Structure 1
Amino acid sequence: MPGDDSSSTSTAILATPTAAIPAHSPYFLHSSDQPGTPLVTPVLDGNNFPTWHRAIVMALEAKNKLQFLDGSLPKPASDSPDPPHWTRCNSMVRSWIVHSIVPNIAHSILWVDSARDAWLDLHDRFSQKNAPRIFEIRRSISTLSEGLDSISIYYTKMKSLRDALSSYRAMPTCTCGTATTLQSHVETDSLMDILQGLHESYSVVRSQILLMDPLPTIA
């Protein structure tokens, strides 16, 4: 019937924009992607930016949406077919970020139209060197000891502190070999931190390890 043909045609037209976007495209949104869903926990509270930043980046990489933050996918020209898709995904990413932040911080970026601009604003405010936090972590590392814990539990605690410290001290990008040397020094420092907190029952083993050349890795 003519009425049925018209209905089928309308349905096909409405379905075309979504169906035409392949799954590998950054414009693709899965049916499970919801704007009100926090991407990560815990949310950003102003004191956990390094770990929150890393978690958000990982989540958006998994969703193929990191391009909306790093500037590699700017808003398309108005004469292309992509602006509606870009706007839709940009709003989705903005919403994910807003719902992954405590309300008083989220309100400050709520009216920013670009997900990238909101991201850069948060980065400028919270990525500054946090000397008091670095001091706290360094002090925790220097005072941590195995005590009554097992080696595994003690190592896990130490690694958590070392990872937190490294989040405030990014290694420089280098192709001359200097970064490898710096990384070696960092690994040596980590080994020393582990050894100094071991129970005294391991004093002989510790002495033997310190005499090794080269020093073993923490693993």
Structure 2
Amino acid sequence: MTGGTNNKNTQKQEHISPSSPLYVHPSEIPNLSLSQIIFDGDNYQLWADAVRNGLDAKNKLSFIEGTIKSPDVAEGAVETMEVVAWRQCNAMIKAWLRNSINPKLHPSIAFSEPVVEIWKELRDRYSTRNAPLVHQLKSDLNECKQGKNQSIVEYYTQLKAIWNELGNYTKIPKCTCGAAAAIVKDREEEKVHQFLMGLDTTLYGHVRSNLLMEDEIVSLSRAYALVLREERHRMVTKVKEETMESAMAAQVTGNSTRVFEPIKEEDTSSIIRCTYCNKLWHTEDKCWEKLRINGRGRGCGKSSRGRGGHGQHANAATATSDDGK
């Protein structure tokens, strides 16, 4: 009985819980990449944030932070399951880091060291603040304006990309006194002003004025939503106007309404002018005024008012009267 109990205790000790950082899922293989961003020596902060996020998703962030250290093993003692699991996870994370680093940098990185030492070396070597890059990003931010025919989504995405990259180099310090929260609020208000200043004044000047008239500056998401709603309203109105114009044009075409284009100087030789009334687009033999005076115009005299055959009955009556005479 005692031997059976000891075997059960040993099996429990050798089991690694799936919630433990030492647990390796079957899908976690050495050729896996933690991020699509490849570290090339110049994008450390962007790459480091992506790697940290990937390790945190796999519950392995504590390995590069150094909170999980290698278990001590006495010389000559048998390795426990925890020791084997730690060594396996350490090797796996080193492989993941190697896959996300440009091969040209591999010779300068000692991958034989524990992963926490590799991470510390990379941080000390590459995490220096890049002042020229920060200056360029702030310059791009000041010059970022909504271009002609550029949608609000495209303009906001362009701004957001600059903000995100700039945020990698301007970290907010952590504290418990409330100063960090105040800094975050100031930065958000600054982003709202930057977003509104870059808008097309002709199209969205009135929306910007209304937002700035508020007692408290609105949030960035709220300002974006209001401007986007105005853009969509303009698009709907434009579609309605174009639909009405198309319908009117179709109606005019159906009624065979003639629209004359301006006459160029070189085309004056082709102008048709009546020699009787001096008006354009007809000749004297088809002149309405001359035909009306001579009694040949439509609606002139009683002969044109007869029913059927364009006044044939009236003409026949006139002929009969003449014969009687």
Give the shorter-chain TM-score range: 0.7 to 0.9
**CA separation in 1, counterparts of 2:25 and 2:199?**
49
Corresponding residue for 2:158? 157
| Structure possessing the higher relative contact order (Cα contacts under 8 Å, 6 or more residues apart) | 1
Number of equivalenced pairs: 204
Corresponding residue for 1:179? 180
Answer yes or no: is 1:49 the counterpart of 2:44. Answer: yes
Matches within 5 A, 1:92-103: 92-103=92-103
Secondary structure of the 1:67 match is helix
1:59 to 49, 54, 66: 54
- Structure 1 residue 110, shift from structure 2 partner: 3.8
1:217 to 219, 228, 243: 219
Alpha-carbon contact 1:50-1:168 (below 8 Å) kept: yes
**CA separation in 2, counterparts of 1:89 and 1:144?**
45
Corresponding residue for 2:127? 127
Dislocated runs of 4+, deviation >4 Å: none
Secondary structure of the 1:158 match is helix
Alpha-carbon contact 1:39-1:97 (below 8 Å) kept: yes
Deviations 1:185-217 (A, max 9, x none): 101111111111101121122122222221001
Please report the RMSD computed on the Cα atoms of aligned residues, expressed in angstroms: 1.9
**CA separation in 1, counterparts of 2:95 and 2:29?**
9
Corresponding residue for 1:7? none
- Structure 1 residue 111, shift from structure 2 partner: 3.7
Deviations 1:16-46 (A, max 9, x none): 79x8222112111122211122211121112
Alpha-carbon contact 1:98-1:109 (below 8 Å) kept: no
Secondary structure of the 2:119 match is helix
Corresponding residue for 1:30? 25
1:75 to 70, 74, 77: 70
| Amino acid aligned to 1:171 | I
Corresponding residue for 2:113? 113
Alpha-carbon contact 2:31-2:95 (below 8 Å) kept: yes
Give identity over the alignment, percent.
Answer: 32
- Structure 1 residue 143, shift from structure 2 partner: 0.9
Deviates most, 78-87 or 180-189: 78-87
TM-score norm. by structure 1 comes to 0.87
| Amino acid aligned to 1:77 | D
Gap runs ≥5 in structure 1: 1-15
- Structure 1 residue 117, shift from structure 2 partner: 0.5
**CA separation in 1, counterparts of 2:16 and 2:107?**
32
Gap runs ≥5 in structure 2: 1-10, 222-325
Deviates most, 173-182 or 107-116: 107-116
Alpha-carbon contact 1:29-1:89 (below 8 Å) kept: yes
Q: Which structure is larger by alpha-carbon Rg, 1 or 2? A: 2
**CA separation in 2, counterparts of 1:134 and 1:34?**
37
Deviations 1:152-174 (A, max 9, x none): 22111111111111111111111
